[in-house]
Chains A and B, each alone.
Chain A
Amino acid sequence: MAADNLPSEFDVVILGTGLTESVLAAACSRVGQKVLHLDRRNYYAGNWASFTFNSLLSWIQEYKAQQEMPSTESDQAWVGKIEEGEDMLPLSSVDSSIINLEVFSYASEESEDEEVVTPSVANSFPKDSEAANEEPSGSSVEPQHSDSPGDRTQGAAEPPKQETEPSEACKNRQMPETQQSNQSEESDKQEQPITRPAEAPIELNKRITYAKLLKEGRRFNIDLVSKLLYSRGSLVDLLIKSNVSRYAEFKNVNRILICRDGRVKQVPCSRADVFGSKQLNVVEKRMLMKFLTFCLDFEQHPEEFQGFSEKPFWEFLKSQKLTENLQHFVLHSISMADQEILTEEGLKATQHFLQCLGRYGNTPFLFPLYGLGEIPQCFCRMCAVFGGIYCLRHSVQCLVVDKESGKCKAVIDTHGQRISCNHFVVEDSYIREEQRTKTSHRQISRAVVITDRSVLSYESDQQISLVTVPPLEFSSPAVRAVELSSSSMTCMPGTYLVHLTCPASGSAREDLAPVISNLFHVPNSSGEEPMQGSEETEKPLALWVMYFNMRDTSGLDSSCYSLPSNVHVCTGPDASLGCDYSIKLAESMFNQLLPDEEFCPPAPNPEDIIYDGDGAPGEGASFEETNHAERSGPEGEGQPQENGQPSSESSEPAESTDSVAPETNTESKVQISPTEE
């Protein structure tokens, strides 16, 4: 590995390739700092990563393996590297930021060519995660009872009807698996007794089997973190300001949906939506427009909300001449406020939402093609263009702390090399418990669902939607779902990828399973087929579901760690919809590191960069290739070092006149361009 001959001196060493770390790396590198950017994983972006279906299964497997044999923190061979007057501070080699991972597959187990004759009932039995892990070439893993839902006490939030059956079914499945070679037939036989023969004709061509998911697995880019970009949020601003936007393409989120009384409806939020909405009468249209127009410059009309400054936003909404329907839309989908939010904050959130409208489309949001995991990589790329060095699967074992100054002088990497640095930036999950002053964490509940159709079908099946599911109880948080179609390049054609997120109150499954069974048809093995024409058959079928909790460290600051002053901890993704928290964090950290430098000034056009030293700029840049390979599956390609080969971009120069004007066809891709305004 080329890592053997890493330079031994850097200005900044950054461990972890999540969004905040990557932005910081790009920012430092851009102003001439020597940056070494490392990640212990074999993929970019850490908890911000996107995975193909197959690589997600491997990721799940790794997680399971780690759960089974928790590797202990081992203090290794750094002793020889420590000099007198120095202390060492070990880092954690175990990532414990993901917990409560559970996987259920409801897709048919038949091989693809059988799918045409498969009765629907046989397709719909739940399986636990172990079956899901059986890749064509994979090895069989023993079931892990600790994780299977059958052993879990049922969450109180679950609807009673579903309470016993799914767990029953899962228990059934927990018999030792046979070898994977005849797996599918075996399971068919096993399931025979509890499935009824097919009675009703079913839409055969639409059936998506598990084998199909695996075969088309590369078409998926499944994000661990589900976020959108506010089109006037700090991430978009930064992408434009720094010229990093040239590395990415985006899709407009087309629809804002809300699930109310078990029905999914479109929320009219732009002028065009309000105009076209069939569910509002003309007076409601006027009232909504009037209210939204007021929100746009609410600061100018303080008299309108005078008495409400200490009262919650929803009370203010009630006082306006808005119908209940409209109050609901504004509260949950436009301001996305929770129940406690005060009037002014709610107005501000509504205003921000509205200001974002129309910049790139009819909703305020953008989603990056190929998944959110692209974004940290774009910043890494920028860092590499300006000389940053990249090593994946390469970590830091410990910090070398100067006893006298109490500062971190150097780090010792996993190869035992000592690398000195002025600043050390590290993602939270690398920090050992001993260095934390606060040990309890908030959690984010996440679920990923692969479905066979949209929660609200529409003329075009290529919609990207944000779905808000308001809480059933007044106090609990709303669940946010982002439904991606294959046009976002995150799932195979014919499927939809749904990301659900909410602040955790229990395990992810406890928090989200009720919402999932509300939005989707989740089959169970008891043979209870939804009646034809019943509500269940109209819901999308859940083909595959994954639950997990991610640690939410966003509330932590430097006082929560006992670390040298030049060690900076990047907290992970927060639970909110936008990326603003992480970007603002990166900027404030940058200002701390390099108070006199500008944060991400515009990068010059590639043709204006003069390369000295060895040779011409690498056409068809190496980073491009790696990126690509990365996308198609992390395992296998080591390529840990991106040795600073500056990459010249093939993408068009920033002043291209082709930049898409706002309010264009929403079907098209969006290229964020600095010349746009």
Chain B
Amino acid sequence: MHGRVKVKSTAQQEEEKRKEREKKLKVYLSARDAVFSKKSNGVLDEEALQLTQQLLSSNPDFATLWNFRREILLHLETVKEEEEMQKLYELELLFTESCLKVNPKSYGSWHHRGWVSSRLPRPDWPRELSLCDRCLSVDERNFHCWDYRRFVVKASGVPVSQELRFTDRLIGSNFSNYSSWHYRSTLLPLLQPGTPSPCRKPAHVSPTASPQTHGHRVCEEQLLKEYELVQNAFFTDPNDQSAWFYYRWLLGRAEREEMISCVYVSREGERVTVAFSKLVNAPAEGLVLVLDGQPQQVEWRSVHPLFRHSPVWLCELPPGSISDINNEHNLTVHWTEKHTHRDCALYTGRLESWCRDSATDQELFRSELSIEKTSVLQSELQSCGQLLELEPQNKWCLLTTILLMRALDPLGHERETLAHFQTLKEVDPMRSSYYSDLCSKFMIENTILKMEYAEVRVFSLSDKNLSTLCHLDQLLLVTHINLSSNQLLKLPPQFAMLHCLKVLEADNNAIENLEGLYQLPKLEDVSLRNNHISKLSTLEPLVSCPKLIRLDLRGNPITKTANIQAELAQLLPSVTDLLI
């Protein structure tokens, strides 16, 4: 009887498929050659359009062909009526759409679509938006489509509120999608309080601008809604990082004001040291040093030759300009680029002087999270505490709690912060070094604060598991530093910012690198007992410290080297008190 089914064998199928492929390849190659010959002969006709279309529909990532296609279209623009071009470009849109179906992440196709849309005499933006919708519903993380969407939104002036609703929808269907959260963070600053749906003119919208650069920008009412939304996300799934990242953005990361934070002047050496609130390249910033009303020709240099950008810069005044201890001098550093300056008076009889804002004045270390209304942060801390009770092991929650505590009261929460860091290292051992560094940073900040409150120039932070050093620009005025019994591996180049340092204690670490002990004009006493210094070359930076007289290297591998005493004496002739 009929209808009995026989199925082709796999060998048969293979053979058929192979033949099919061969045939396809032949067609493809001959079309490619035809296009290339047209291209080299400058033939910009519709047949070439046809051929490139044929090739691109099987391989939409052939960038040369897209370029050729655009050349042809631009040429056709010169010979055809607008109406005809409209039709032609509409066909292009259909064509790129079909290419995107083949490869939704084709750079060439998306770029071409954007180009066509911008050439189209009468663009149909709603259609483009709905294309994006469709595309993102299939793959909500297709960044090509996100880019294109931003392009369309910008070109067609879609209201911010509408886009915000769009992200609402995407986040609602899957909140593990950082693209949507990020888009939200670019939209919120554009949402003006009081104006429900401001129709933005394209020129004002700069969605590419990083959200961090908008200072404090989201109105409070909206902010509270955002907190609620994001809390829903991290209570639902506390292990999803996109919500936590967005949360941290919401809590804010205020930019520090650009300013000269400290001017220090020392008669000895006739040197001026300037600290800035951010890394700068001083020679390029138009710094002007005015001494007693006279602009000075000075050469700015960073504290270490490694730094082109640094928060601390120094210069030598012309010899004899301030060395007279019986005279008072007035000094001003102008930062012309930023229209700011700082004065410093060097009084009679003084060897040094400075003028600065202290870290406590600036609430410097709270700016990790913004100086948001304390009440808001307080209630956020409560929410995190609630979650932490349910999920004591959740690293995101622990970390955010730490950040909130720091923003609210860094010294008051120190003990809890340390405990949370301990838990973090246990639950997330893969990142324990990161947590150690972060914890070190916070400990240093706290110590700086304590030092400021005590109004001393002594920085002591021993036996606190420090793994790294930071904020060294804040230690410009410190004369005595004790870093003993930590886990430091090196004294980094930034250490050269401690321009007033006289005594350094860093016993019982694992230091094997002393790059930062470079050109410290006042350094006299260095104690590095029980570290990992093994080579003479390691000590070479010390050569640049003119006043070094005491060096303690006991318990370092280098002491085992034969003839070390003599070699050290030769390397560091100024050291009179060498302990090995």
Do they bind each other?
yes
Encode A551-570 as 1/0 by CB contact (under 8 A) with B: 00000000000000000000
> Within 8 Å CB of B1, what residues of A?
7, 387, 613, 644
Encode A219-231 as 1/0 by CB contact (under 8 A) with B: 0000000000000
> Within 8 Å CB of A609, what residues of B?
5-8
| Interchain CB contact under 8 A, A272 and B173 | yes
Cβ-based interface call for A75 (8 A):
no
Question: When the two chains form the complex, which single residue of A275, A613, A665 contacts B2, counting CB atoms closer than 8 Å?
Answer: A613
Q: Which stretch of A160-168, A278-286, A342-350, A467-475 is in the interface?
A: A278-286
Encode A385-408 as 1/0 by CB contact (under 8 A) with B: 111000000000000000000000
Considering the chains assembled together, what is the distance between the CA atoms of A271 and B242 in angstroms? Answer: 15
Closest beta carbon of chain B to A28's beta carbon, Å: 14
> Within 8 Å CB of A677, what residues of B?
none
Nearest opposing residue in chain A for B387, CB measure: A286
> Within 8 Å CB of B7, what residues of A?
604, 608-610
| Interchain CB contact under 8 A, A613 and B383 | no
Nearest opposing residue in chain B for A282, CB measure: B235
Question: When the two chains form the complex, which single residue of B5, B139, B236 contacts A285, counting CB atoms closer than 8 Å?
Answer: B236
Given contacts A282-B231, A664-B137, contact A275 B4 (CB under 8 A): no
Cβ-based interface call for B237 (8 A):
yes
Nearest opposing residue in chain A for B139, CB measure: A661
Cβ-based interface call for B555 (8 A):
no
Nearest opposing residue in chain A for B383, CB measure: A282
> Within 8 Å CB of A183, what residues of B?
none
> Within 8 Å CB of B173, what residues of A?
272, 362, 663
Closest beta carbon of chain A to B380's beta carbon, Å: 12
Interface centre among B2, B6, B383, B390 (most CB of A within 10 A): B2
Considering the chains assembled together, what is the distance between the CA atoms of A614 and B4 in angstroms? Answer: 11
Considering the chains assembled together, what is the distance between the CA atoms of A445 and B34 in angstroms? Answer: 72
Closest beta carbon of chain A to B20's beta carbon, Å: 12
> Within 8 Å CB of B422, what residues of A?
none
Within 8 A of A (CB), among B1-32: 1-8, 13
Considering the chains assembled together, what is the distance between the CA atoms of A610 and B386 in angstroms? Answer: 67
Considering the chains assembled together, what is the distance between the CA atoms of A166 and B172 in angstroms? Answer: 45
> Within 8 Å CB of B387, what residues of A?
282, 286
| Interchain CB contact under 8 A, A663 and B4 | no
Encode A377-389 as 1/0 by CB contact (under 8 A) with B: 0000000011100
Within 8 A of A (CB), among B351-387: 383, 386-387
Cβ-based interface call for A98 (8 A):
no
Nearest opposing residue in chain B for A30, CB measure: B5
| Interchain CB contact under 8 A, B137 and A275 | no
Given contacts A272-B173, A608-B8, A665-B137, contact A285 B3 (CB under 8 A): no
Cβ-based interface call for A287 (8 A):
yes
Cβ-based interface call for A276 (8 A):
yes
| Interchain CB contact under 8 A, B233 and A287 | no
Closest beta carbon of chain A to B54's beta carbon, Å: 20
Cβ-based interface call for B238 (8 A):
yes
Encode B313-351 as 1/0 by CB contact (under 8 A) with A: 000000000000000000000000000000000000000
Interface centre among B1, B3, B139, B172 (most CB of A within 10 A): B3
Cβ-based interface call for A206 (8 A):
no
| Interchain CB contact under 8 A, A612 and B236 | no
Encode B226-237 as 1/0 by CB contact (under 8 A) with A: 000001110111
Closest beta carbon of chain B to A670's beta carbon, Å: 13
Within 8 A of A (CB), among B187-243: 231-233, 235-238
| Interchain CB contact under 8 A, B235 and A613 | no
| Interchain CB contact under 8 A, A612 and B238 | no
> Within 8 Å CB of B175, what residues of A?
271-272, 275
Closest beta carbon of chain A to B141's beta carbon, Å: 12
Interface centre among A272, A386, A661 (most CB of B within 10 A): A272
Encode A304-348 as 1/0 by CB contact (under 8 A) with B: 000000000000000000000000000000000000000000000
Given contacts A282-B235, A283-B386, contact A664 B5 (CB under 8 A): no
Within 8 A of B (CB), among A640-667: 644-646, 661, 663-665
Cβ-based interface call for B409 (8 A):
no
Question: When the two chains form the complex, which single residue of A272, A612, A664 contacts B6, counting CB atoms closer than 8 Å?
Answer: A612
> Within 8 Å CB of A425, what residues of B?
none
Question: When the two chains form the complex, which single residue of A275, A283, A644, A646 contacts B390, counting CB atoms closer than 8 Å?
Answer: A283
A sample of 8 more A-B contacts (CB under 8 A), given A271-B175, A604-B5, is A271-B237, A272-B175, A275-B172, A276-B232, A282-B386, A604-B8, A608-B8, A610-B7
Interchain Cβ contacts under 8 Å between A and B, 9 examples? A271-B236, A272-B172, A276-B172, A387-B4, A604-B5, A604-B8, A608-B7, A610-B6, A612-B6
Residues of chain A at the chain B interface (Cβ within 8 Å): 7, 271-272, 274-276, 282-283, 285-287, 289-290, 362, 385-387, 604, 608-614, 644-646, 661, 663-665
